[in-house]
């Protein structure tokens, strides 16, 4: 599924970015193959809003339609999460983005 087709409020892993130009655009905004993003939601038929760490990024529809993603299983953000090793203090941050620890 593409980032444009992804359901709202779910952790997603970027699986594939097809062409070199798109890959370069994504790298500039901190998204790369294997990265985890949260909460894909389409803003009124326009760009797609995603959260990566503490940033909210609006990705254009055409770019979002070419980024392949997969949902992460479970409620946690997965082993790639930089906050996974942090004890209870990270709970607020996770709840803020719709994840529970």
Give the start-to-end residue ranges of the domains of the chain.
12-74
Q: Is the pLDDT of residue 15 over 90?
A: yes
Q: Is the pLDDT of residue 72 over 80?
A: yes
Which has the higher per-residue pLDDT, 45 or 70? Answer: 70
How far is residue 55's CA from residue 94's CA, in Å, rounded to a whole number?
13
Question: Edge-to-edge strands of the sheet including 36-42?
Answer: 55-59, 48-52, 36-42, 12-16, 68-71
Architecture of the domain spanning 12-74? Roll (2.30)
- pLDDT at residue number 20: 92
Q: How far is CA 26 from CA 17, 20, 58, 61, 63, in A?
A: 8, 10, 11, 13, 9
Q: Is the pLDDT of residue 86 over 70?
A: no
How high does pLDDT run on average in the chain?
75
Mean pLDDT of 76-96: 47
Q: Is the pLDDT of residue 58 over 50?
A: yes
pTM tops 0.85: no
Q: Which residue has the tokens 């359901």?
A: 7
Q: Is the pLDDT of residue 75 over 60?
A: no
């Amino acid at each position: 599924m593409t980032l444009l087709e992804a359901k709202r409020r779910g952790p997603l892993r970027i699986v594939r970015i097809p062409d070199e130009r798109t890959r370069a655009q994504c790298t500039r905004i901190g998204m790369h193959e294997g990265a985890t993003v949260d909460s894909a939601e389409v803003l009124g038929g326009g760009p797609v809003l995603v959260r990566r760490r503490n940033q909210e990024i609006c990705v254009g529809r055409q770019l979002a339609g070419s980024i392949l993603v997969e949902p992460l299983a479970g409620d946690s953000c997965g082993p790639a999460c930089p906050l996974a090793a942090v004890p209870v203090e990270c709970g607020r941050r996770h709840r803020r983005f719709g994840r529970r620890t």
